Structure 1
């Protein structure tokens, strides 16, 4: 239990249902959906749609989503891959001929087909009680009538004002006299409301066909991009087989490649092979950070070399997750000094994405993540529909020899990863830690804090974080100075983090007492609610 003398918040305890999101309006909408008789997936889609309006730097209907689900608390996990692909004209040679050697995050070529809306509609149809029209009502309300800008939302908005200003349509909708709105300003998004209403009436066809699709394709092609209406009409998400590993009596589940969830599993395998006892009992101690960050270096190197769209490349999942591979990697770790791997080739870190989780009274559990990648995605908005378009294509390589090289209809390596924990024959915790490349490290940091240090979900989300990238460990305020000095003594280059690292939510299912225990990350504006 937390020290009640100190600032902080308790986890919420509830019996009938719980939701944890990165914005209070979304958490409230999810609970209202549950109380009205909706399932966990109904509530999750409702919350995600609200977040697409009220947290526009982090997510939107122009992005992707991935979902893990447990029906009735079963350990049989359902996974849905809701990410879109590159245009069918996106040949690697096309970029080479034009002297393009990398896909910049603010380039029109970073725009891939949005996958979120198809996923929302498909999952609602297959696992919900309500139609997409009912699920989108709260989001339409906030887009049409307005919402007050929350503090973290205002911070993110201001950081991306310059990007938005470069696109006239985005500037007209998302800036006020050329500037980001301030905390507490009420923002209305009538174009987005109109598009959400179209989707409510026609389902996925209202987005991937008709005037919305034409508006999206026209906006992209006007800037020299390749995505066209046929690419949008062609899009379908997929139910996929989740992947997992065991650790400390539980099993962690992830979506398979092209998502980077394998990275978190490999990290756990390396830690298990190295010996969890080496981490020590102190959640903020140098041994724990050292061991996890060394495991991260090794796991991210494997990620960057192998993870790609399995429909186009062989991704050796079984080999990467084998005990022998983990043991070989763990054998490289020294507790007295850091590994010098240099830059492991990760993508620039960023705090963007939303993650949410919902558990209902029937113990259907949903782990749900939605993103437009960087803040406000590409910064390019379709002018009639108000759809901000993601820049997920910046994850592609342009080297034809790399498995993650761009190609027609190919899906890029993807950073957003929902997680699910099972124990025996039951799901015990949907959770996730958002924030681009940081997500595998964040999942491992939070999960091991709960398993090995006895922290509850809220305490685990509150815990200060560190992340290794390009030879530097970024540390949040709150990590003890003695830990920082001990890491430096082992050869780590340690610097203060700029923005906080990611966000996150979790709901623990206490089956014995019939209780849900939920926490929400203080790095965002959100909260956990239950009833």
Structure 2
């Protein structure tokens, strides 16, 4: 016993000089522990939005109500990634019917804008900003579709917190202030942007209280007048008039005729777990294609962080993204072989092209740009929502309709202008979409609702999260905090190919030895900052019903439960 004080003293001294990465439990790269609760859970990319969603649950709302409330709040506090000028996709686990439901709330291109217009103006691609890439914003209709099918509280109550914050203001976070300032030089030339987001001559700084009275009024009209207030009322007329003044094509008729689509989620089994994504026009099935190929390898035996694993992952990604560039588009205009693309047999065929020793050079890679928000919610009844919403390219097109308090998306940029391509531009067509929600079931029961926002990054990160959880045995927070692999290329999902193999970016945490071995295999390594996505997840213990929440340490994310 006389030696115990010396032992304790040694421990105290060691703790004073130990690394910040030393943890009592869990992996050294984990930023925090999982959040664990029984009655409900909300995980979003912004703490104020998480709190709004949690408040809705505590007021008696369900997971669907909380998801809509949190999404509305994110449109206010994180306009750099989303808003009611954008689109929405969702997967819902309904505890009553014990089924998954998929919602495609993406908008279509203007009926009056034709392919001939681009040809006459000698355009080889659709511009990234301005009036031409604007398509119908589908998010608001998505809210009301979700609410009409599953909601419980009235929309006036669901949207009330965001309306209140918009009127009184909220302090802007460091990250959002940085992104807004980054967008201003590009978007401030468009009428309405500065009035909304630069009221004092500049975008708000960190900690500055930002008020958006115009958005508050818009949301009040939506809360009381329903989805028609947005698509058939004064809001629609204001959008149409503004777009006409800016030389755009989006019309009142385009807005009035908009509809969302309930779709069947599609899945592939990965080592006993059914991973669910939404079918095209989104890119979700790319994650399933990657997982189908990687299931043929002993990933666990390769080890996390090994050059063998990273090489195999990157090469499988390249193969999946070839199909992404060629086939993923609006199914109303194309016969897309989705079932074949996500089949195990097709995966085995594709693997014949994978060289385990050398990096391939011929690929059709995607565009890793744009930003998004992803959120997930769960309630005490067992309902779970996986929801993603975006403007594209961060704040969107720059088109900021007069007095409405939000920016219209620029998703139309992702159309191809290449004749014969599945994603070729056409009036009334949905563009190829990067945003994807995900869900996992096991033995027919809900297990995981998750997503990772960020353009072409998303399918790659979906696959990595699943692999981290299942193959490498990480917990929910560790799976999101683990250093990530990103393969990028210069081509877009418009049919444009490349032949140099692209490049691989690795977050800090991978060893110098691994990096050297990848170079020896022919990979080009390049450092990239801030392009590794934004993760949120809720896992449900199938035996106890206890929820585990995790959120993104790379951004402002917060998971919270009660």
Q: Aligning the two structures, in what range does the TM-score lie when normalised by the shorter sequence? A: over 0.9
SS in 2 for 1:66: strand
> Which of 235, 255, 258 in structure 2 is aligned with 1:212?
235
Tell me the residue number matched to 1:196.
219
Q: Does the 8 Å contact 2:551/2:558 carry over to 1?
A: yes
Please tell me whether residue 366 in structure 1 is matched to residue 385 in structure 2: yes
> Which of 134, 137, 140 in structure 2 is aligned with 1:111?
134
Q: Does the 8 Å contact 2:300/2:471 carry over to 1?
A: no
Runs of 4+ residues over 4 Å off in structure 1: none
Please tell me whether residue 494 in structure 1 is matched to residue 525 in structure 2: yes
Uncovered stretches (5+) of structure 1, i.e. residues with no partner:
none
Q: Does the 8 Å contact 1:51/1:59 carry over to 2?
A: yes
Tell me the residue number matched to 2:366.
346
SS in 2 for 1:87: coil
Deviations 1:377-421 (CA, angstroms, capped at 9, x unpaired) = 011200121220000001100123111011111001111000000
* 1:75, distance to aligned residue in structure 2 (A): 5.8
Tell me the residue number matched to 1:394.
413
- In the alignment, the residues of structure 2 paired with residue 205 and residue 406 of structure 1 have an alpha-carbon distance, to the nearest angstrom, of 27
Tell me the residue number matched to 1:410.
429
Q: Within 5 Å, which residues of 2 pair with 1:448-463? A: 448-463=467-482
Q: Within 5 Å, which residues of 2 pair with 1:130-209? A: 130-209=153-232
Q: Does the 8 Å contact 1:164/1:175 carry over to 2?
A: no
* 1:2, distance to aligned residue in structure 2 (A): 8.6
Please tell me whether residue 62 in structure 1 is matched to residue 82 in structure 2: no
- In the alignment, the residues of structure 1 paired with residue 95 and residue 272 of structure 2 have an alpha-carbon distance, to the nearest angstrom, of 21
My pick for the range that moved more, 407-416 or 277-286, is 277-286
Q: Does the 8 Å contact 2:290/2:320 carry over to 1?
A: yes
Tell me the residue number matched to 1:94.
117
Deviations 1:441-493 (CA, angstroms, capped at 9, x unpaired) = 01001111000111111111111112111211122223322222221111100
| TM-score under structure 2 length normalisation | 0.91
Q: Does the 8 Å contact 1:83/1:115 carry over to 2?
A: yes
| Aligned residue pair count | 527
- In the alignment, the residues of structure 2 paired with residue 525 and residue 2 of structure 1 have an alpha-carbon distance, to the nearest angstrom, of 23
- In the alignment, the residues of structure 2 paired with residue 402 and residue 461 of structure 1 have an alpha-carbon distance, to the nearest angstrom, of 35
> Which of 522, 534, 547 in structure 2 is aligned with 1:503?
534
> Which of 241, 249, 263 in structure 1 is aligned with 2:264?
241
Q: Does the 8 Å contact 2:268/2:343 carry over to 1?
A: no
SS in 2 for 1:495: coil
Please tell me whether residue 525 in structure 1 is matched to residue 556 in structure 2: yes
SS in 2 for 1:160: helix
Please tell me whether residue 435 in structure 1 is matched to residue 458 in structure 2: no
Deviations 1:172-205 (CA, angstroms, capped at 9, x unpaired) = 2112544322111110011111101110110101
SS in 2 for 1:357: strand
- In the alignment, the residues of structure 1 paired with residue 482 and residue 201 of structure 2 have an alpha-carbon distance, to the nearest angstrom, of 37
Q: Does the 8 Å contact 2:371/2:390 carry over to 1?
A: yes
Q: Within 5 Å, which residues of 2 pair with 1:288-367? A: 288-342=309-363, 344-347=364-367, 349-350=368-369, 352-367=371-386
My pick for the range that moved more, 319-328 or 187-196, is 319-328
- In the alignment, the residues of structure 2 paired with residue 479 and residue 111 of structure 1 have an alpha-carbon distance, to the nearest angstrom, of 40
> Which of 391, 394, 400 in structure 2 is aligned with 1:381?
400
Tell me the residue number matched to 2:149.
126
Q: Does the 8 Å contact 1:74/1:427 carry over to 2?
A: no
Q: Does the 8 Å contact 1:74/1:426 carry over to 2?
A: no
1:190/1:484 CA distance change after superposition, 3 Å: same
* 1:288, distance to aligned residue in structure 2 (A): 2.1
- In the alignment, the residues of structure 2 paired with residue 2 and residue 397 of structure 1 have an alpha-carbon distance, to the nearest angstrom, of 49
SS in 1 for 2:470: helix
1:375/1:423 CA distance change after superposition, 3 Å: same
- In the alignment, the residues of structure 2 paired with residue 179 and residue 436 of structure 1 have an alpha-carbon distance, to the nearest angstrom, of 27
Tell me the residue number matched to 2:545.
514
Deviations 1:33-53 (CA, angstroms, capped at 9, x unpaired) = 111111101000000000000
1:414/1:500 CA distance change after superposition, 3 Å: closer
- In the alignment, the residues of structure 2 paired with residue 188 and residue 301 of structure 1 have an alpha-carbon distance, to the nearest angstrom, of 44
Please tell me whether residue 30 in structure 1 is matched to residue 53 in structure 2: yes
My pick for the range that moved more, 491-500 or 174-183, is 174-183
Deviations 1:132-164 (CA, angstroms, capped at 9, x unpaired) = 211111111111110111122122112212123
Question: Once superposed, what is the RMSD of the aligned Cα atoms?
Answer: 1.6
- In the alignment, the residues of structure 2 paired with residue 204 and residue 222 of structure 1 have an alpha-carbon distance, to the nearest angstrom, of 25
* 1:507, distance to aligned residue in structure 2 (A): 0.6
Tell me the residue number matched to 1:71.
94
1:483/1:361 CA distance change after superposition, 3 Å: same
Uncovered stretches (5+) of structure 2, i.e. residues with no partner:
1-20, 490-501
SS in 1 for 2:71: helix
Tell me the residue number matched to 1:18.
41
- In the alignment, the residues of structure 1 paired with residue 397 and residue 276 of structure 2 have an alpha-carbon distance, to the nearest angstrom, of 30
SS in 1 for 2:104: strand
- In the alignment, the residues of structure 1 paired with residue 421 and residue 428 of structure 2 have an alpha-carbon distance, to the nearest angstrom, of 16
Please tell me whether residue 285 in structure 1 is matched to residue 306 in structure 2: yes
- In the alignment, the residues of structure 1 paired with residue 98 and residue 348 of structure 2 have an alpha-carbon distance, to the nearest angstrom, of 27
* 1:13, distance to aligned residue in structure 2 (A): 0.6
Deviations 1:228-269 (CA, angstroms, capped at 9, x unpaired) = 000000001011111110001100111111011111111111
SS in 2 for 1:58: coil
